[in-house]
Structure 1
Amino acid sequence: MKKKIFKILKIVLPLLLGVFLIWYSLKSATPQERQELWQNILTANPWFLLLSMLFGGLSHLSRAYRWKFMLEPLGYKPKLANSFMAVMAGYLANFGIPRSGEVLRAASLSTYEKIPFEKAFGTIISERIADVIVMLSITAITLFLQTEHLLAYFKANEINPLISVGILLGLVFIGVLGLQIIKRSQLSFLVRIRKMAQGLLEGMRSILKMKQKWAFIFHTLFIWLMYILMFYVVVFSIPGLENTPFSIIMAAFVVGSFAISATNGGIGVYPVAIGAILMLFNISKQNGEAFGWLTWGTQTVMVLILGGLSFILLPIFNRQK
């Protein structure tokens, strides 16, 4: 019973947080500000929104294609159509249960391509490691470009960056200690976890066995370039934002990348976080949140369409299996 309640809370609480943030954002705005926000959304140039969706679709297609480079050393060659539909179905699942998409993605390929779940899931973790490295690199470059603004913000809000670094190092230490306990323990459930981890590690090692390392690196960089472009082009859809410096948009991109995992598909949190970071650079809350809503909305519509079709077409495409 407790496990069932916990699972329900994992789904409901992030969704409630997103709804609350939407309500609070609109409630705290004046009627004029709400009207301006709505007007910015209604008058947005649809061609740039479609272009954003195109860039997003290309990034997902490249992710599906990149996946085969990690599965080939394990002896598997899935069809690109199955890989792409598994990726899109996974993104759609994240709107229901945060971070469940990776599990569904591996399960889909395990079902239709007969790839062991642990190995498929291990390659997804390897992908995430590569993506985290790129994301941290983008974050570091953005922080360097915006050092002056960030230091002023920390000072104004009495934030000590060293505390955040200390917490991060503490979490890393706890994680390493936990791994050592799992490695040496003979408790039955920890032994099962260790066996599961061995399958995951085999999948993760595939990145070192790839014959086409440079192709993998190219697609990794291409995926993130498409992410940045799908975010950046939305600027040109909102009057008054088209001259915003690229470095400021990148700061919003970094914040949005972290905020989107806070709730189901980033609902509520994403546009509010984008609006908040852009306000630091003297961009109005209405323009900033309109930018956030349009960016989130275009990608959400694309995931709903492609993800929904993937759920329907996966069993049809593989009906002979």
Structure 2
Amino acid sequence: MKKKLSKIIQIVLPLALGLFLIWYTYNKFSPDQLKQLKENFLKADYLYIWISMLFGALSHFSRAYRWNYLLEPMGYRARLPNSFMAVSIGYLLNFAIPRSGEVSRALVINKYDKVPFEKAFGTIVAERIADLFISVCILFAALFLQFDTLWGLMDTHNINPEKLAVFGAAGIIMVLLFWIYLKRTRSALGQKIRNFINGLKEGMLSILSMKKKWAFIAHTIFIWTMYVLMFYICIFAFPETQTITFSQTLSLFVVGSFTIAFTNGGFGTYPFLIAEAILLYGVDYTVGTSFGWIVWLSQTSVIVFLGIISFLVLPLYNKSN
């Protein structure tokens, strides 16, 4: 019962927060501002939005292709269509329960290409480690280029970096204590967990034994280049945002990435924080809100479209299985 309640809370709480922020944001607008919001949506140059969506789809494809580089050292290979559909379904499911998409990816590839779940999941964790490295590099680049802006945004929303550091350190200590417990325990459950972790470890270490390291690195850079470009190209959709520089765009990208990472795909929070951040660059709040919504909706449309198509096509493509 407690487990079921926890899952419900994981789904409902982020969605409730998103709905509250949508209500809170639009409750502040006057009728004239709401009219301006509508006009902003109508006057946007949607050619740039379509290009942004193409970049998003290309990043999905590259991520699916890159996955096989991690599976091959363990003697497995997933068919590219299955990898692509597993990735697309994973992104879609992350909207319901954050981080559930990684589990679904491993389940799909286990069912249709017979890759053991724990090893497939381990390769996904290895992917995330590589992605984390690139995202940290982007974060430091944004901090270096736009430190005052990002610090000001954190201060505006009472985000204390010291508290974040304390929580991070506490989390690391808890993980270490749990690992020590697993090393020493002789219980059946402990052994099962150890075996599962060993499978994860093999999948994660495949990044070190792969033959095509440079191809993996190239795909990783390509994926994150597409992520940045799919955001940056949208800057040109509005005349008011075209003056924003690339370094400023990088800081906005970081803000948006945090909302996506810690909520249900940034629902409600993404447009709200992007509007707050872009305001620091002299862009009107209503324009910033419109920009945030258009960027989020375009990215979400790609995820939802590819995810639903993959749900429908996956069993048909694997009908023989």
TM-score (norm 2): 0.95
How far is the alpha carbon of 1:94 from its aligned partner? 1.4
119-128 or 296-305, larger mean C-alpha shift: 296-305
Residues 281-300 of structure 1 aligned to structure 2 (within 5 Å): 281-300=281-300
Q: Using the aligned pairs only, state the percent identity.
A: 48
Q: Tell me the SS of whatever aligns to 2:265.
A: helix
Q: Which runs of 5+ in 2 are unaligned?
A: none
Counterpart residue number, 1:38: 38
Structure 1, unmatched stretches of 5+, are none
| SS state at 2:241 partner | coil
CA shift digits 1:38-89 (9 cap, x unpaired) = 2212221111010000000111100000000000001111111110011001
1:262–1:269 contact (8 Å) kept in structure 2: no
Shift, 1:193, TM fit: 1.8
Larger deviation, residues 192-201 vs 169-178: 169-178
> Who is 1:101 aligned against?
101
Question: What is the Cα deviation at residue 103 of structure 1?
Answer: 0.7
CA apart distance, 1:281: 2.5
Q: What does 1:154-173 align with in structure 2 at a 5 Å threshold?
A: 161-173=161-173
User: Using a 3 Å threshold, how does the CA distance of structure 1 residues 156 and 190 change in structure 2: closer, same or farther?
Assistant: same
1:65 aligns with 2:58: no
The 2-side partners of 1:138 and 1:227 are apart by 11
Aligned twin of 2:205:
205
Question: Could you say if the C-alpha distance between residues 28 and 119 of structure 1 is closer, same or farther in structure 2, counting changes exceeding 3 Å?
Answer: same
1:133 and 1:292 map into 2 onto residues whose CA distance is 26
Once the two structures are superposed, the pairs formed by residues 89-238 of structure 1 within 5 Å of their partners are 89-151=89-151, 161-238=161-238
**Contact 1:64/1:84 (CA < 8 Å) preserved in 2?**
yes
Equivalent in the alignment of 2:315: 315
SS at match of 1:264: coil
Task: Trace 1:73-84 onto structure 2 (pairs within 5 A).
Answer: 73-84=73-84
Q: Which range is displaced more, 24-33 or 174-183?
A: 174-183
Q: Label 1:293 to 1:157 Cα distance change in 2 as closer, same or farther (>3 A).
A: closer
- Equivalent pair of 2:150/2:251 in contact (CA under 8 Å): no
Render the CA deviation track for 1:262-311: whole Å, top value 9, x for unaligned: 33221101111111111222222212221111111011111111111100
Tell me the C-alpha RMSD between the 2 structures.
1.8
Shift of 1:30: 2.1
The 3-state SS of whatever aligns with 1:240 is helix
Going from structure 1 to structure 2, the CA distance change for 1:154 and 1:208 (only over 3 Å counts) comes to closer
Match status 1:306 vs 2:295: no
Q: How many Å separate the matches in 2 of 1:316 and 1:242?
A: 45
Length-normalised TM-score, structure 1: 0.95
Per-residue CA distance 1:223-273 (angstroms, 9 max, x = gap): 000000001101111121111111111111001111013332211011111
* Aligned equivalents of 1:42, 1:192: Cα separation in 2: 57
Task: Give, in whole Å, the separation in 1 of the partners of 2:265 and 2:135.
Answer: 18
Tell me the CA shift for residue 148 of structure 1: 3.2
Instruction: State the Cα distance separating 1:159 from its structure 2 match.
Output: 6.4
Name the CA distance, whole Å, in 1 between partners of 2:304 and 2:151: 39
Larger deviation, residues 235-244 vs 225-234: 235-244
| Cα pair distance change 1:200/1:216, threshold 3 Å | same
